[in-house]
A and B are shown apart, each in its own frame.
Chain A
Amino acid sequence: MAGNNPTPVEYIQHHLQNLTYGYHPENGWSIAHSAGEAQEMGFWAIHLDTMGWSLAMGALFIWLFRKVGKAATTGVPGKLQNAIEMVFEFIESTVRGAFKGKNPLIAPIALTLFVWIFLMNLLKLVPVDFAPALFARFGVEYMKLVPTTDPNATLGMALGVFCLIIYYSIKVKGLGGFAKELSLTPFNHWLLIPFNLVMELIGLLVKPLSLGLRLFGNMFAGEVIFILIALLPFWVSWTLNVPWAIFHILVITLQAFIFTVLTVVYLNAAHEHH
């Protein structure tokens, strides 16, 4: 913790601060010891907690699904295999419903996004004080557990999706076709090309931005509420954080699903000719 007896504002700021490693103008390559130092590091810094936890969750996803996939039998499935297959089939049917083209890569992308985001969101159900307190014992000052409450993580994934959108738009329609779609819709007249271009580019750019910010906004807001609840006296906080946590079981699944489905929908649009 920041101090022995932090004020509520300090407490909240501390819990919302990522563990940042980067190049500080004065201290060189180091871990930031305050929000200010992290700010001064600018772009060339990395959030160790976000990266670490998101990689851990991704690895967990890969390990779990790989393990089940390797042991998958065509006979009667076990309980774990059944659960994994349920998720798998859920994603497969969702993709089949939303994606009309033929691209074997879309379903794995959707599966990765869904399970990965779900697992990252799931970390939110860990009590807010648990991770910071635990890591403080080992001298780590900051530990923001949930990667999806960091806009870097959500926007990073959204940018990845954006790259896929651009890639498939060009691959399917060709560079000319993509340019034509950007410049000649919605108004098919050469005089309106600039107008169309502005409209379409905004539409294109808003896709990843809304994708990333929606997930971030939901998760961040939920996290802030958890932290605020944690500020209450311990004998009353459970009356609020238990319902909120139960509600968030729904929210984290829903947000993971929304991110996945929107990605599939965007990629479907990228495959379609207008």
Chain B
Amino acid sequence: MNINMTLIGQMIAFAIFVWFCTKYVWPPISNALHERQKKIADGLDAASRASRDLELAEQQASETLRESKEQAAEILEQAHKRSTQMIDEARDQARQEGERMIAQAKSEIDQEVNRAKEELRGQVSRLAIVGAERVLEASIDEKQHGKLVDQLAEEL
């Protein structure tokens, strides 16, 4: 157990190993570890971001669903309203048409009645004249008495 040159040798060996370790051993391991650390941190970050995105998307989806439901209900309601309106309109129209047709028929009937009356009146007046002629045996001035008969006929 003598103290000798081994002491110096060991010192030199120590220096060499430290130098080698600093230069060639420490950096790659350190880099790899730090890179992995970063990677894991990034991964965790991405995961949390993704879950947040998912939550957001779900929220959006439910919102859209709700909106579309509302819209559908609105459309349905509108259609309903429109259909009742259409039915009402059609009913009104039909009623008007019917009334108009009834009025027309009535006026036609009136016309017909008037014409028939006119005709009848004419025939009656002629018949009366003929009758009177027969009675008076042509003693009557047709011209003078025609006027009288016409007046009579109008009174009918």
Given the complex, which residues of B lie within 8 Å of A85, measured CB to CB?
29, 33
- Measured in the bound complex, the distance between the Cα atoms of B14 and A159 in whole Å is 10
- Measured in the bound complex, the distance between the Cα atoms of B20 and A142 in whole Å is 31
- Give B23's nearest chain A residue, CB to CB: A108
Let me know if A74 is at the binding interface, CB within 8 A.
yes
The listed residue (A38, A66, A74, A92) touching B35 by CB distance below 8 A is A74
Given the complex, which residues of A lie within 8 Å of B10, measured CB to CB?
50-51, 54, 147, 152-153, 155-157, 160
Residue pair A47, B6 in contact (C-beta under 8 Å): yes
Q: How many A-B residue contacts, CB cutoff 8 Å? A: 138
Residue pair B4, A44 in contact (C-beta under 8 Å): yes
Contacts A54-B10, A55-B13, A74-B32 known; A44 to B5 CB distance under 8 Å?
A: yes
Residue pair A152, B17 in contact (C-beta under 8 Å): no
Let me know if A11 is at the binding interface, CB within 8 A.
no
Given the complex, which residues of B lie within 8 Å of A77, measured CB to CB?
36
Closest CB-CB distance, B92 to chain A, in whole Å? Answer: 81
Given the complex, which residues of B lie within 8 Å of A163, measured CB to CB?
11
Residue pair A16, B1 in contact (C-beta under 8 Å): yes
Let me know if A89 is at the binding interface, CB within 8 A.
yes
Given the complex, which residues of A lie within 8 Å of B144, measured CB to CB?
none
- Measured in the bound complex, the distance between the Cα atoms of B33 and A43 in whole Å is 45
- Per-residue contact bits, chain B 76-113, to A (CB 8 Å; 1 contact, 0 not): 00000000000000000000000000000000000000
Let me know if A111 is at the binding interface, CB within 8 A.
yes
Residue pair B7, A155 in contact (C-beta under 8 Å): yes
Let me know if A70 is at the binding interface, CB within 8 A.
yes
Let me know if B139 is at the binding interface, CB within 8 A.
no
Given the complex, which residues of A lie within 8 Å of B15, measured CB to CB?
160
Residue pair B26, A156 in contact (C-beta under 8 Å): no
The listed residue (A46, A70, A108, A151) touching B26 by CB distance below 8 A is A108
Residue pair A108, B3 in contact (C-beta under 8 Å): no
Let me know if A72 is at the binding interface, CB within 8 A.
yes
A20-B2, A61-B21 known; 7 other A-B pairs, CB under 8 Å?
A: A43-B2, A70-B28, A72-B29, A74-B36, A152-B4, A152-B6, A157-B10
CB within 8 Å of B: which residues of A? 16, 18, 20, 22, 38-39, 41-47, 50-51, 54-55, 58, 61-62, 65-66, 68-70, 72-75, 77, 84-85, 88-89, 92, 104-105, 107-109, 111-112, 116, 147, 150-153, 155-157, 159-160, 163
